[in-house]
Amino acid sequence: MATGTGRMADRESRFLAYVQRLAEALGHADRAGPLRAYCTGLLLPGERKSVEPMAAKLAPRRVGAAHQAMHHFVAKAPWDDWAMLAAVRDWVLPRLTARGRPLDAWILDDTGIPKKGRHSLGVARQYCGQVGKQDNCQVAVSLSLAAAGASLPIAWRLYLPKEWVDDPARRGAARRGGAPRPGSPPRSASPPSPRSRSGRSRRPSPPGCRDRRRW
């Protein structure tokens, strides 16, 4: 029987292997450290998942340097969102369907992300499914594959309320300030063109999807 220490070591090993696969999708070795720190910070206790409090928890003796590195990675470093989603899909999907488990459904849904402040990109008082009422939140639209006991997002778009669409200065300020990006560049509610952050048309086709242009 595995001990508690052994289970923790196994989880840490699998987490580091997963993050390393994501780092390979970034294409820049110098971003592996900030990516690992950011993913670790997301798993730590605490309601605030912005860069500054995460840096304080991860590197209490060098908060400024850790904050700067993660802020640059999240807010300024160019990387391909769709390549990252493809890396997640390629890592998780074989485990989701292991031992012959079939995919049960494709799920198109919106996800509310409760927020405390008003500066994160797209945040507004709108319906939030997590709390079951109107609240201060971001909203993203996702396409997921579902099997027994788990689901896997394979496409993701941040929804921008009209007040954000009509205010380019506010959008620019949010991006410069390092607003969290749930996996996509800022888009309006209308279907976006298939362009990545780097300007290349590299959207991967989810398995079984014949016409990716409709997403």
> What span, in angstroms and rounded, lies between the C-alpha atoms of 202 and 167?
29
Yes or no: say if 25 and 57 are a contact pair by the CB < 8 Å rule. Answer: no
Note the pLDDT of residue 26.
Answer: 87
Yes or no: say if 202 and 87 are a contact pair by the CB < 8 Å rule. Answer: no
Note the pLDDT of residue 177.
Answer: 55
Profile the chain (215 residues) by mean pLDDT over runs of 10 residues.
Answer: 75 91 88 91 85 91 92 86 91 88 91 87 92 93 90 91 92 66 39 34 46 42
Q: Where are the domains of the chain?
A: 4-76, 103-214
Residue 165 exposure: Cα atoms within 13 Å on the Cβ side: 9
Note the pLDDT of residue 149.
Answer: 81
> What span, in angstroms and rounded, lies between the C-alpha atoms of 114 and 111?
10
SS3 assignment, position 80: coil
Please provide the size of the chain in residues. Answer: 215
